[in-house]
Amino acid sequence: MKKFIKLVKVEFKRIFSNNVLLAIFFGAPILYGFLFGYVYQQAKVVDLPIVIVDQDRSPTSDKIIDAFNDNEGLLVTDVRYSAGNLIDEMPIKQYAAVITLPSNFEADVFQKKHPEVRVDLNMANILNANTASKHIQSVLMTLNAGMEIESLKKQGMHPAQALSSYESFKINFNKLYNSTGNYVTFMLPGLLGGIMQQIIFLAMALVFSRDFEDGYFKKLIKESKSSLYHIALKATPFLLMLPIIWLAVGLFFPYFNIAANVFNFPMLALVILLTLASMAIGMLFSIAIPSQLKATELLMVISTPAFILSGFTWPTMAIPTAITNIAQFIPLTQFLSGFRKIAFYDGGLTSITPELGMLLLITAVSFILMVILLQVKIYRFGKKNKIVGNEIDE
């Protein structure tokens, strides 16, 4: 045990001598946590720039323009009386939409000719376009209803009757789980999970490949010929440091006022299994590929698309089945699925049984392969050193 503790201290020294690893392992979660948190801190998209082309210049069109000015999601940056060169301006000004009120709009409304309001959406940014469309529809539908009711009242209908004649039924939307539509609550947890998987991958990709490259592995196998011993030796420093980093990541939730239940036992189990699964995969690649650069590059091939494939933002039912099946073997996919059940749906351990089972499977398979492959490498290194030693003696 004394020898093991001594070697663990050496591992810490080797870890802390790698400035790049330190910057990624300790700096990335904190830096990206603050960066992404502040990026989405506004929580929702507001003041999307729009242009109104008022070809009617009537009191009714003025009323519509005022309604758009009162909407917090939209910002009327320009009101003009002809379209001009709006198509040329769009790439520069980045207008979210152009709303055109046609000539004789007011007169056609009063004469029940049902004039058309044209809305040209800038679809280059889908999020902005969808948000702008929602706000524009809200404004126009409210005004449309108001105009219809006013028309009925002018015809002599009682206000209450006019309202009931236009409104056949009421609609009541009850928003559950992130009811405010807070974008920090939606995006930050997934991004933080992706960052943690990535830094674990990167850190573990170096633990054995670095030893193979600089010859330190030859010294280590003199201490023990057991693959389990060496896996425990390499994993111990990270098992001691990762809880601190996870705690720091968890503190972003209260810091950014994210309404998610993350400090509980089911979440702890999920975090532990994500950590073990990511460590197992990272160490397996580090053993299989005796090059720090190549091991890191191949793990990035897995990690880079993981967030998109996880189904956290884009629904899995819209992803081809073959790709979805592959994504199930990426730890982040299981973590984010379980995270949403616990943090937002207040689920317990039973609700995340499938995710925990898959993470255990990923960990177990990676660990078994790691043990076998490392034992083979230890045997080959030992045999090679023995042959070299015999040649020297001769």
Q: What is the pLDDT of residue 388?
A: 47
Q: What is the pLDDT of residue 330?
A: 93
Q: What is the pLDDT of residue 379?
A: 86
Q: Tell whether the model's pLDDT for residue 153 goes beyond 90.
A: no
Q: What is the pLDDT of residue 390?
A: 45
Alpha carbon 218 to its chain centroid, in Å, reads 41
In tens, the pLDDT along 330-379 reads: 999 999 999 999 998 888 999 999 999 999 999 999 999 999 999 999 88
Spatial CB neighbours of 139, under 8 Å, sequence gap ≥ 6: 64, 67, 68, 71, 74
The 3-class SS string of the chain reads CHHHHHHHHHHHHHHHCCHHHHHHHHHHHHHHHHHHHHHCCCCCCCCEEEEEEECCCCHHHHHHHHHHHHCCCEEEEEEECCCCCHHHHHHHHCCCEEEEECCCHHHHHHCCCCCCCEEEECCCCHHHHHHHHHHHHHHHHHHHHHHHHHHHHHCCCCHHHHHHHHCCCCCCCCCCCCCCCCHHHHHHHHHHHHHHHHHHHHHHHHHCHHHHHHCHHHHHHHHCCCHHHHHHHHHHHHHHHHHHHHHHHHCHHHHCCCCCCCCCHHHHHHHHHHHHHHHHHHHHHHHHCCCHHHHHHHHHHHHCCHHHHCCCCCCHHHCCHHHHHHHCCCHHHHHHHHHHHHHCCCCCHHHHHHHHHHHHHHHHHHHHHHHHHHHHHHHHHHHHHHHHHHHHHC
Per the model's pLDDT, the better-predicted residue between 213 and 384 turns out to be 213
Give 158's pLDDT tier (boundaries 50, 70, 90). low
Q: What is the dihedral of CA 8, 9, 12, 18, to 10 degrees?
A: -120
Domains of the chain: 2-40+180-393 (no CATH), 48-166 (3.40.1710.10)
Average pLDDT estimate for 241-257: 92
* Residue 135, Ramachandran bin (φ over 0: left; ψ between -120 and 50: alpha; else beta): alpha
Q: What is the pLDDT of residue 160?
A: 65
Q: What is the pLDDT of residue 169?
A: 47
- Tell me what the pLDDT averaged over the chain comes to: 85
Q: Tell whether the model's pLDDT for residue 271 goes beyond 70.
A: yes
Percent of the chain beyond pLDDT 70? 90
How buried is residue 284: exposed, middle or buried, by Cβ count under 10 Å (0-12/13-18/19+)?
Answer: buried
CB atoms within 10 A of CB 170: 5
On whether the pTM is more than 0.85, the answer is no
